[in-house]
Amino acid sequence: MTDQHSGTLEPYEVFRQEKEGGPMIHGGNVLAPDPELAVHYARELFARRSESTRLWVVRRADVHVLDDPDLLDPPLDRSFKKPGGYVMRDKLAAARGRAGTAKPGARAASHDTTGRRTGKTG
Amino acid sequence: MTDPLALDPVLPVRERSERPWNLDLPHDERFAHFEAHVTAGGKIEATDWMPDEYRTAVLRFVEMHGNSELMGVLPEREWIMRAPTLRRKLALTAKVQDEAGHALLLYRVAEDLGKSREAIIEDLLAGKTKFHNVFHYPTHSWGDIGIIAWLVDAAAIVAQQALRDSSYAPYARTMQKICWEESVHIMHGRDVVVTLVNGTAGQRDMVQEALNRWWGPLMQMHGPRSDRAKDRDLHWRIKAKTSEELRQEFLAIYVPRIRELGLVIPDPELRYDEAAGEWRYTEPDWDELRTVVTNHGPRSEARLEFRRLNRDETRWVRETILAGSPAVAA
Amino acid sequence: MTASTALAELLLTMADDEFVAGFMDSEWTGIAPILEEDVAMSSISQDELGHAKALYELLAEVLDDGRDADAIAYDREPEAYRHARLLDRPRGDWADTIARRFLYELADEARLASIGGGYAPLADLVAKLRREERYHRMHVLAWIERLATGGPEARGRLVAALAGAGEAAATVFTPLDGEADLLRAGILTRAFDEAEAAWRTDLTRVLVPLGLDLPPRIEHGPDGRAGHSDAFRWLWGEFTSVRRSEVGATW
């Protein structure tokens, strides 16, 4: 038995996964005297209706928060980092016009989302 | 890892997004920013700055809600032992468990606002804080269990659904979880009531008699009509609807469902006024409500005393796990 | 005795054990020492009741006498219940509950581990029960350790609770009349005295490092699952009261 009996009630944040492979979502928190009981209580509060396939239980004091908008959403242009920053529909049309080629069918859709929406299987 | 805050001096000072009340401003300016945000439907997180008035109002609201869940355990738990089938016993145990769980979730919200669970429970047991009127009454029969789970929970859920959009985001999120869990309680209660009305004459009498006793407290439960303009909880959007709006909503959904079963609602004045678009009813006994919620109800003192005794008897367990025993090498 | 009579006896004793354990534990609902334990203990009692329900349903099929699980669970006189004397005690304080649950959970596991494939519906059910019982053992072991090492008062209460269970501790292994038939049919893979030995090994692993005494060895007698206490008669009066108020009604 290696758990620490810290002797004070501490908040633990609980993250839950609703189905295998899904993201871990913040579910809420529990107060517990040690990690072992924190895990037990997290099970009771966030999984007793079989609504979770996995829980992560983290001491709140161990969560490092970053919510500074200067760091997370800097003011200058970052569109080169996002697919939406590359709109080339008109340029493609011009290129096709120069080359005398036709627009490929949906099957030729690739990983880029250039200029149009691709299907889920694209 | 670099502490991101250490980078602060090298970054240009820029207005911090849309949460200016968190900036180091004079109190009145902060207050104005905060109020504008909240009254426009914005959300507040536990880590945000908030005016004391707001913090106190949310805390009082959440605390009373948590207290009501905690005390709401007692009338029903007496019937866990007496539940007449295995399935009913399982459902009732799960329902009472949810109420304890909801008290816990709500106390967590209150604790993060600055009041410890210990202090919350001490105040409750000392009679300094309140719990909902319906949990001050006795239960007499299995019919009560159906009526409480169906109608008391329905009246509560009408109020709770309106709280899912509370300006205090941790409370709003908790209410989403609670509403999801409570919907099962209403199904359980309605199923108990429907089974009883389909049963023997004795069972029908049992449920009608329970309805007769609970109707008054149910009509009082949301509280007297209030002036929307003067209600600070509405102003801060801690809650979204007035007492009367909640009562009307409850009546609109549940009067037809109760009458559908052939049960008689014990209010000769109860009717829907087409012209006014609202339900008319005999004025609830507000004196009774005041008497009851100030802990002078028929079971107020007994239930508080039961909790005090239980708290004394189990104190050693809390002290044991909090005392911090040395880790055992094994 | 035929294997099916013996099977019915096995199912009834297992179901009654879980039923009474579930009732005792559900008494904590709403009044446990901390709210988190309210919720935890309630889950455990729901599991136990659920196990009792599944076992009574299986028994109803085996008996095929027109009674359903509820009729078997509720509509008997107190003397007809076959739960072990370990479970035939008032709820007591938190230490009594933890001690009783510790002794019972480990005994139940030793019993479940003795069920073979001789009656497939039971073997299938037991596989499910054992998955749920794992959490019960995790929970009770966490508490045994905390009480044993949590200072003089907690340890004193735990020691008294374990001693109080004393001679009743091993009564879960009270021999069944039809044990030989169950072994022949492969419904049991080992006799109850072997299961009891396995239980003692498990207890030793937990209790000895904590410096706690093992429960005494006893000569099993006919009162291991009979001659119930006033605490059980009170419980029976409570849990049958609504049902008896309208006999034969649907609830």
Torsion from C-alpha of C57, B146, C234, C245, nearest 10 degrees: -90
Question: Quick check: B327 and A4 CB within 8 A?
Answer: yes
Check B77 against C29: CB less than 8 A apart: yes
A36 touches chain C (CB under 8 A): yes
* Exposure string for B18-42, b = 16+ CB within 10 A, e = fewer: ebbbeeeeeeeebbebbbebbeeeb
- Kindly indicate the confidence band of residue B36, based on its pLDDT and cuts at 50, 70 and 90: very high
Strand partners, B272: B279
Question: CB B131: neighbour CB atoms within 10 A?
Answer: 23
The span from the CA of C99 to the CA of C24, in Å, is: 13
Q: Which residue has the higher pLDDT, A106 or C3?
A: C3
Residue contact B327–A68, C-beta within 8 A: no
Residues of C in contact with B321 (CB under 8 A): 34, 146, 150
Phi and psi at A25, nearest 5°, equal -115, 140
Nearest to B134 by CA among B150, B152, B118: B152
Rounded to 5 degrees, φ, ψ at B272 are -90, 125
pLDDT of residue B18: 64
User: C38-74: per-residue pLDDT in tens?
Assistant: 999 999 999 999 999 999 999 999 999 999 999 999 9
The label of the residue with tokens 């009338």 reads: B75
pLDDT averaged over every residue in chain A: 81
pLDDT at B328: 35
Decide if A115 contacts A87 (C-beta within 8 A).
yes
Chain B: list its partners (3+ Cβ pairs within 8 Å). A, C
Shortest Cα distance from A47 to chain B (angstroms)?
12
Looking at A63-72, B266-275, C52-61, which range is the least confident one? A63-72
Of the candidates B209, B56, B60, the one whose C-alpha atom is nearest the C-alpha of residue B143 is: B209
Cβ pairs B/C, distance under 8 A: 143
CB atoms within 10 A of CB A41: 25
Determine whether the interchain pair C138/A40 forms a contact, defined as Cβ–Cβ distance below 8 Å.
yes
Would you give the end-to-end CA distance of chain C in angstroms? 36
By Cβ distance, the residue of C69, C146, C238 closest to B86 is C69
From the candidates A44, A46, A49, A51, which should be mutated to test the interface with C, based on the most C CB atoms within 10 A? A44
The pLDDT tens digits of the residues spanning C93-122 come to 999 999 999 999 999 999 999 999 999 999
Q: Do the Cβ atoms of A40 and C146 come within 8 Å?
A: no
ipTM confidence score: 0.95
- Closest Cα partner for C110 from C54, C25, C191? C191
Q: Report CA-CA distances (Å) from B260 to B64, B72, B155, B200, C196.
A: 34, 28, 18, 18, 58
> Residue A41 sits in which domain range?
10-62
What is the residue extent of each domain of chain C? 3-216+228-245
H helix intervals, chain B: 27-39, 52-77, 86-112, 117-125, 142-147, 153-161, 169-197, 201-220, 232-235, 243-260, 286-291, 300-323
Q: What is the pTM of this model?
A: 0.88
Q: What are chain B's domains?
A: 34-288 (1.20.1260.10)
CA distance linking residue C57 with residue B293, whole number of Å: 46
CATH of the domain at A32: 3.10.20.520
Cβ contacts of A45 on chain B, cutoff 8 Å: 101, 104-105
Are the C-beta atoms of residues C101 and C45 closer than 8 Å to each other? Answer: no
- Sheet containing strand A54-59, edge to edge, reads A24-32, A10-17, A54-59
Block residue for tokens 């008032």: C90
Q: To the nearest whole angstrom, how far is the Cα of C228 from the nearest Cα of chain B?
A: 18
Residue C158 to chain B, least CA–CA distance (Å): 11
**Count of domains forming chain A:** 1
Whole-number pLDDT of residue A7: 62
Considering the segment(s) C3-216+228-245 as one domain, its CATH architecture is Up-down Bundle (1.20)
- On whether residue A53 sits in a domain, the answer given is yes
Return the residue of B nearest to C146 by Cα: B321
